Structure 1
Amino acid sequence: MFKPRWAFVLTILLNLHLGSVFATIPTDPLVQQQSDRVLRLPGQNFNVSFAHYAGYVNVNEEAGRALFYWFVEAAEDPASKPLVLWLNGGPGCSSIAYGMAEEVGPFHIHADGKTLYLNPYSWNQVANILFIDSPVGVGFSYSNTSSDLLSNGDKRTAKDSLAFLLKWLERFPQYIGREFYITGESYGGHYVPQLSQAIVKYNLATKENSINLKGYMVGNALTDDYHDHLGVFQFMWSAGLISDQTYKALNLFCDFQPFIHTSNSCDSILDIASAELGNIDPYSIYTPSCPANVSQSNRLLKRMHVAGRINEKYDPCTEEHSVVYFNLPEVQKALHVDRNHAPSKWTTCSEVVHATWKDSPRTVLDVYRELIISGLRIWMFSGDTDAVIPVTSTRYSIDSLKLPTVKPWRPWYDDGQVGGWTQEYAGLTFVSVRGAGHEVPLHRPKLALALIINFLSGSSMPSAQLLSDS
C-alpha cells in the first residue's frame, strides 16, 4: 500500500524502478484484419470517416500470452500516413485507458461514462495510430499462464512488444515497410527506447521483414533514477511548494543513489514535505483534483495518471469516466474482448503488475547513446506543471548526455502564443509544453498536435518569425 503523504512522488519513482481466442482467429491475414474491425461503439452518436480495429495478438504460444490492441487509421488518406505506436507506462497502466480514451485518440468519453465525443486534436489527423495494452495483465491483455502476471519486467515487455509488432504487421500487411514511429509517456520512458533498441537489433539480424523504424518521442519520461529524483526536489522548491528548510533537508537526508530504501530521517522529512505540499494533484499542480478522490489520498497515490483538460470545461475526472465505459459489456463486445479472458473488473492500471515488476534498469541513458548513434530521430517533451517527472528531471538527464547544441534554447509558438520552449542537440530535440501536466496531450491537446506534426515531419518547432512569414 502506498502511504498517504508527499512521499508518493518518490514512491512512484521508486516503484517504477522496480486459448480460445486463438482458435477462433482466421488464418488469412485480411480475414483476420476484417474480423477485428470495429463497426460502431456504444455511445457513439456521430459518424467517422476512418476505419478502426481492436483485438488480440498472440505473442507467446507456449504461455498463451496475448496483447490487446486498438488501431485507428488516419482520418484522411491513411495509405500516405506513417504508423505511430503509443505506449503508456505505470508500469501496469493501459494505453487504451489513457492514450486512446483521454489523450491522442479520436474517441473520448463524456462525464456520464456512457457516451463519446470526437477529439478535434486526435493524432489520427496526421498518422495511423496503434495502441497496445502492455504487458500482459494490463487492460484487456492476458496470459493463460498465471505466473506471467507476477513476472513482468522491462526485458520481457520489450520482447513481447516486438513479437506483437511482427505478428500485427502480418495481419495488416499494407503497413509493412511504412514509416514507423514510437511515442509514449511516463514509464514509457523505459518502454519506448527499449522497444526501439529491440527493433534496431532485430533489423540488423534480419534483412527481410524489417520494421521501418524512423524514430521515437517520449514525454515526461522516467529516464534516469539519479536525475529524475534530483529534479523532483528542485521542481517542488522552485515552484514554491515546499520551504527552503525542507528542500535542504530532503537533499541532505534523502540519498539519490541507490534511493531504493529511504531512511527514517528521510521518511520524517518527507512527512513534513507532505504537509507543506497540501492536497494538490502532483501530476498537474495548478489544476483541481477530481472531487471523487479529494478525501481518498490513498487512492490518489496508486493512480499513475490523473489530469484533465485546461479550459472552461476542465474535467479532472477523465480516468473515472474510462472505468465506467470500459466495464460496460456492450463496449467490450464492440471491441472484440474475449469473454473467457476479460477481467472481472477492468481497471486503468494493474496494481498486481505494478507491485510485482521484476526488472528495471536505473537508467536508459545508455540506450539513448546507442540509438542516437544509429541515426534515429529522437525527441523528448515535457509538460512544465508536472511534479512527478518534472521538466527539471528531463533537462538534467539530457544535460548528462553532453550532446553538442545545434540550435540554442528559444520559445516556440502556436497561433502567435508561446507554446513552450525548445533546444536542439546533435541527435536529440527537447520540447517543453507550456501549462501542461504529466499527460501533455490531455492538458494541452492543440499544442500536442503541433508537437506530433513537427516530430513526424522532422521540422523544428515553429518560431515567431515563421508565423509572421506565413
Structure 2
Amino acid sequence: MAADEEAQQRATDRVTNLPGQPPGSFQHYSGYIQLQTQNEKAMFYWFFEAQTEPALKPLVIWLNGGPGCSSVAFGAAQEIGPFLMGNAVINDQTDTLGIVDYAWSHGIISDKLYQSLKADCEDFKLPHTSSRCNDQLKAFFDAFSGIDIFNIYSPVCVLNFSATTNSSNLEDIQSTFDPCVNNYVRKYFNQKEVQRALHANVTNLPYPYTLCSSQLTKWTDSPSTVLPTISKLLDAGMRIWTYSGDADARVPVTSTRYSVNKLGLPVMEEWRPWFYKRQVAGWVETYDKGLTLTTIRGGGHQAVLSARDWSLSLFTSFLQH
C-alpha cells in the first residue's frame, strides 16, 4: 500500500469521538478490512496503539473463543483493553468509561489488535477461519506498516499466516470487576453513537449486537486436539507459552498439564513457583523446543480479568524473554 493510501486508511479508521472516553495520550482505530480471497466479506478490527513509543512495541492479536464470541466484547471491553466498563455501572452512566490500571497497552507493553469474526456460519469452519485471519493480517500490515513483531493468541490463526515481518489479590478484583459487566458491555455497544464512533454496523443490521452468536450452538468443527498444531509451530522455531488460571473450572490446570505431557517433550526446568512483588503468582514448567506452561494463581476462566496484575506480569515476561 502506498504511503498516501496508508495515511488515508489510518485517518478514516481513527476513533476520535467515542462516547464517554476519558482524555488519553493513545490513539485507536477501528473499522472493516475487506478480505481478498472471499468476495464481499469483511472483518471488523479494533486497534489500540501503545501509550508510549508505539512504533517500537510488538503487536498483540487477541482472539476470544466461544465459539462465536466477540473479541471486542470480551478482550477489548473486559480483559486487556484500556477502557473499564465497570465505571459506567458505578456511575449509572453507560456512556462513561474508566481507564484500566493493568491494560496491556500501558507502559512498555504492546500494541493490540482485536478481531471480531462476523461472517456466515459456514465460514466458521477451521479452514475458512484460518484463511480469513491470514487475509486480515496481511491487509492490516498494509495499512499499519512499521510494526515488526507480533504475538498470536490462536494457534489456528498463526499456522497459515504468511505475511512478511521481522518478526492481585482478590481485593483488587472486587474493586475493578462488576459481575453484571456483560449487561453493560452489551448496552454500550448497542448505542448508535458508539457504533458510529467505531465505524461499525455500517449495514444497519436488523438485530442487536450480542457478546456471543446464538447461531453457533451446534458448531462441531472444533478439532479434538490442537497438539499437532502446537508441535508444528514448535518445530518451526516458534516460542509458545500456554497458561491456565488455577481456579478455572472450564479448563482446569490438571487437564492442561495432561495435554502438554502428551507432546512428549523433555522437561528443561521442573515445576516451580514464579513471583510478582514477592508473592507467589503461579507455577511454571519449561520444556524443550521453547514451550512453557504457566499457571496464574487465583485466575479463573478469564484469568486476565480475575488476576489483572499477575497476568500482565506474565505477559511482560513473555515479551522480555
Give the structure-2-normalised TM-score.
0.91
1:369 paired residue number: 231
Q: Offset at 1:212?
A: 4.0
Q: Offset at 1:172?
A: 1.1
Q: Quick one: distance in 2 between partners of 1:33 and 1:181?
A: 22
Q: Quick one: distance in 2 between partners of 1:337 and 1:445?
A: 28
Q: Offset at 1:410?
A: 0.8
Letter in 2 for 1:106: P
1:149 paired residue number: 121
Q: Offset at 1:152?
A: 1.8
Q: Offset at 1:338?
A: 3.8
1:120 paired residue number: 101
Q: Quick one: distance in 1 between partners of 2:308 and 2:206?
A: 31
Output one character per residue of 1:405-445: Cα deviation in whole Å (capped at 9) or x when no partner.
11111111111111011111112001100011001110011
- Structure 1 segment 287-302 matched on structure 2, within 5 A: none
* Cα 1:313–1:364 shift into 2, 3 Å: closer
- Picking from 76, 92, 100, the partner of 1:100 is 76
Name the SS of the counterpart of 1:389 in structure 2.
Answer: coil
2:244 touches 2:253 (CA, 8 Å); kept in 1? yes
- Picking from 111, 115, 126, the partner of 1:132 is 115
2:298 paired residue number: 435
Q: Offset at 1:344?
A: 2.2
Q: Quick one: distance in 2 between partners of 1:348 and 1:329?
A: 16
Letter in 2 for 1:116: L
Letter in 2 for 1:58: Q
Letter in 1 for 2:149: E
State the identity %: 40
2:47 paired residue number: 71
Q: Quick one: distance in 1 between partners of 2:98 and 2:301?
A: 23
Q: Offset at 1:310?
A: 2.3
- Residue 37 in 1 paired to residue 7 in 2? no
1:414 paired residue number: 276
2:245 touches 2:298 (CA, 8 Å); kept in 1? yes
Q: Quick one: distance in 1 between partners of 2:13 and 2:47?
A: 10
Q: Quick one: distance in 1 between partners of 2:206 and 2:296?
A: 36
Output one character per residue of 1:266-294: Cα deviation in whole Å (capped at 9) or x when no partner.
xxxxxxxxxxxxxxxxxxxxx9xxxxxxx
Name the SS of the counterpart of 1:161 in structure 2.
Answer: helix
- Structure 1 segment 121-200 matched on structure 2, within 5 A: 121-125=102-106, 126-134=109-117, 136-137=118-119, 148-175=120-147, 178-183=148-153, 192-199=154-161
Aligned length: 308
Q: Quick one: distance in 1 between partners of 2:192 and 2:18?
A: 12
2:54 touches 2:111 (CA, 8 Å); kept in 1? yes
Q: Offset at 1:390?
A: 1.3
Structure 1 unmatched runs, 5+: 1-26, 138-147, 184-191, 203-208, 214-286, 288-307, 459-470
* Cα 1:391–1:369 shift into 2, 3 Å: same
Q: Quick one: distance in 2 between partners of 1:118 and 1:451?
A: 21
* Cα 1:132–1:313 shift into 2, 3 Å: closer
Q: Offset at 1:149?
A: 2.9
Letter in 2 for 1:383: G
- Residue 210 in 1 paired to residue 164 in 2? yes
Name the SS of the counterpart of 1:340 in structure 2.
Answer: coil
- Structure 1 segment 214-253 matched on structure 2, within 5 A: none
Q: Offset at 1:359?
A: 2.4
* Cα 1:340–1:314 shift into 2, 3 Å: closer
Q: Offset at 1:311?
A: 2.6
Q: Offset at 1:63?
A: 3.1
Structure 2 unmatched runs, 5+: none
Q: Offset at 1:49?
A: 0.7
**Structural RMSD (CA):** 1.9
Q: Quick one: distance in 1 between partners of 2:126 and 2:206?
A: 23
Name the SS of the counterpart of 2:160 in structure 1.
Answer: helix
Runs of 4+ in structure 1 over 4 Å off:
none
2:20 touches 2:97 (CA, 8 Å); kept in 1? yes
* Cα 1:102–1:62 shift into 2, 3 Å: closer
Higher relative contact order (CA 8 A, sep 6+): 1
Q: Quick one: distance in 1 between partners of 2:294 and 2:242?
A: 6
1:446 paired residue number: 309
Q: Quick one: distance in 2 between partners of 1:361 and 1:102?
A: 27
Letter in 2 for 1:198: N
1:265 paired residue number: none
* Cα 1:182–1:151 shift into 2, 3 Å: closer
2:24 paired residue number: 48
1:468 paired residue number: none
Q: Offset at 1:195?
A: 1.3
1:158 touches 1:198 (CA, 8 Å); kept in 2? yes
- Picking from 210, 214, 217, the partner of 1:355 is 217
* Cα 1:162–1:61 shift into 2, 3 Å: closer
1:151 touches 1:358 (CA, 8 Å); kept in 2? no
